[in-house]
Structure 1
């Protein structure tokens, strides 16, 4: 990384796997794999959003929240992967350079979307909790106004948190190399370049992560604990099976999203390496946005039914 020492205000993104010149076969294979995952995420999340918009059977709070999750994932993966791929393909210092302003925008978008999605997943768990434990109260507790407040609250709180962290990260004095050993402008990776004591800020990151990860996760676990208890008491086998499917789907998404974030932002940096941070980041930045629509489509009969109806409608119009 010494070769990237510079006096410019720009940063250098080392990348996910620093490629040799010319790129190795393994590097090209991984690049192609990431591009395929990116395209799958784009198609999957766009399809989910359009499906929910076009099918009236999905115009209920659960799928309204799910459409927002897909929108977040779509924006989320688009903020990092295209630049990472171009950096690998061009493989020169100029292509790896990212301006001070671009880095700030990337940090802001990433943290806003990460915080908003963490809160939204908790709200989706609350939706399932009310639907299964209080079905008669569902139209009152989860009406359109409540959904709008949940979504707006997620975006606003995520943005406020992001503004604070972005402002701090861009005001850190960097007296070493300006090469960020990551494939995007990640604040923990940038802190290693600081020539000042960042222990107080790391404590603030811990508190922020606790609010946006651990509190929602605790709420999710409580909600599903109550849900599983209610499901266990159900007399209808079909209703119990449907509830288990819905809950297991959401818990799968939660696990893929929360666990890698918790490792990166709660685990002391002395116990992690830059390579581990980049590898873990692949899960919540690249894989999760791809898996979310796949999990919800393949494991949800209502979504599959809507997909068939919309497909039949399009085929009948094209004749």
Structure 2
């Protein structure tokens, strides 16, 4: 069975009654519905319900402000149609999925510890791992409610291999379930791909990657894809971490040929916890400004990490250095 969703003044599309959210149903139908995180954190998929009945999945989702709630706003990623509905939202071609998301089961083939709290999870599906470098998947950890978004760190492949660099978050039910309850050979539900901060076919500008915390994974995928292009410009990779023990980007990028086209700069925000450290210190965006030859509008920027880092990088690039928005691509990790 299906519900028919009509966009006021626009298209109509069908959403399966088995679909877990309006957003995922819209994207599977090829509708360019705005989104970033897909799990209630960013608020990019806000919409108005004009008519019909919608179930709210997470009433306290941080993607809605109190003002949004008073105005009756809803999140498409946290809403499930209960019947035919009419909604008000502004869609855009840039959000139309280049690769249609697909749901199914993935089997854990292996887990490799990278840092004290980060591991590489290797999953295998019966279908090809089709995605754009920089996109993410929704995983449904065992014994928890709802999905968690994790970016792929490897490249698309026909073998169905999906690799993720996942940080164990203190008190995080999703990440702890993956670390503690998912063993080699176990299956986990996967829905992928999503996201728009993926590698573009851009002019011959040098490419700058900025990773903060768990934002390392999509930057690895984008860097690997960029370096695999024989005629692509060099890649500058800035890796922000708390301590030297939290760094693993350089070793993971070791399989990227040719090495002379890759510049890797680690930056520590807590250098006092790493005796003998002689590298860059402070906030990663500040090191980007110090290290890159000016002007900054000569580069193509990709970055991923926690919201404060994303906001700081955006402010630096757009407001202080006039980098065009078209040269800026990012994902927030909530």
- What's the TM-score once normalised by structure 1's chain length? 0.26
Larger radius of gyration between Structure 1 and Structure 2: 1
- Identify, as 1 or 2, the structure richer in helix: 1
Q: State the structure with bigger RCO (CA 8 A, min sep 6), 1 or 2.
A: 1
- Identify, as 1 or 2, the structure richer in strand: 2
- What's the TM-score once normalised by structure 2's chain length? 0.25
